[in-house]
Structure 1
Amino acid sequence: MKVGIFDSGVGGITVLKKAVEKLPGVDYIYYSDNLHVPYGTKLKEEVAGYVNEVMEFLLSKGVEVVVIACNTATSIAAHNLREKYNIPIIGMEPAVKLAVDSLNKGKILVTATSLTLKEEKYKQLISRVDQEGRVESLPLAHLVTYAEQGIFEDQIVVDYLKEMLAPYDWIQFSGIVLGCTHFVYYKDIFKKILPSYVKVFDGNEGTIQHLKEVISEKEIIDHSKKGQVTFYYSGKEAPNILESYMKKIK
């Protein structure tokens, strides 16, 4: 079984790492579209074009399932991709439902890229799961830039997050959703900055559970044997650069 996972950059590696942990017997191809990162600040039409190019590349490598490890790309292109290609395509969305269902009271702050938060798909998600108006939204575009530059624990990240989170009265909040795979690199910093009672959510676990279900319907995988992971940087194989990012994820 060969699975393709892609993102605008290195954020999707947080999804890849979870996949390798949960489904080690699968072969993975990870595609980082670094020539076009970030997706979250571009026009929808541009992103749709980039995603189609990535899909064609992954299919040329023989993948049988594709995971769009990017909330922005999912919101813009997943529907059309599923109509165009006859293979399972698993997307991502901010883990708002999980947060709302898990927390009985208190507000929930959803962080993501500006484009994800503007998309109709996100608005429909909020309308569907947030009947009590508990959810607020905050774009954090700089985190994508920091991750792509390999800036993870520097004071500049801490200062940025403190500045962006400062306007909120956290006594009223019980949870925060990391609605971009790049943000998962900074989960520990969020936890250090925020009060201990604020629970941090991301969609990676749910996405890999979905992948596990899809794979189990197609074939039985021997997870006692370790699969192969191949990394591509916009079409060029780049194992050392991208593999180093997996070590940054705690």
Structure 2
Amino acid sequence: MENFLTDNEDILFHLKHIDLDQIITLKEDNFAEKDIFPHAPKDVEDCMDSYEKILALIGEIAGEYMAPVAADVDEEGVKLVDGEVIYAEGTQMALDMLAKADLMGLANPRKYGGLNCPVTLMSIAGEIMSRADGSFLNFGLQQDISETINKFGSDEQKERIIPILAKGEETSSMILTEPDAGSDLQAVSLRAHQADDGKWYLNGVKRFITNGNGKIGLVLARSEDGSKGAGGLSFFLYERDEHMVIRR
């Protein structure tokens, strides 16, 4: 059985020799959740054992299921049918398998259905899956967006949105790129203004959005009139509804 963790001596060496004790202790808040959640670790050794099992499962999915269909994914591509994005069969299979294995919330807190893993583990998981299929960006993207919401969102937003992403029920996107603002995010010009009714309205153009069909979106917009550069930019949480039109 192919496993892209167990056959990778470089990753195994790092797992064995990198000192993660302090990172684990901080991430686990001195193991404060050990009596709250059934799978929360009780110490560093227990946590490392969990990490290895998680990565081994990801390695199995990547090596046994994703890699064999990677060429088919490239050949099939993504389709836009009646305004809906249809992933390649292999891509959808990988998303479904990761969701079924409770891996779509790898970096999310346990109280929202996640596994509370650090960025170090996310990076290793990303390397494993990229080896199987270089086009598979959705996995890492979901972690970044839910982590952003977890850090900056309100309690209501976190409780409502993060579990949906952690379970893999919906996908998401960061809506950043504009015709004149690609990697230079300081050039973002899409405007946001708050009306008298308290609602925010966004006016401008975004394009070339990775996984732009996602149900949950974080839209970067300029919320302060006359501002330039990074100052005056804000993220707006957007939940896709029937008014969103997808073009290709």
TM over 0.5: no
Instruction: Kindly name which structure, 1 or 2, has the bigger radius of gyration based on alpha carbons.
Output: 2
Task: Answer 1 or 2: higher relative contact order, Cα 8 Å, separation at least 6.
Answer: 1
Which structure features the higher share of helix residues?
Answer: 1
Q: TM-score, normalised by structure 1?
A: 0.26
Q: TM-score, normalised by structure 2?
A: 0.26
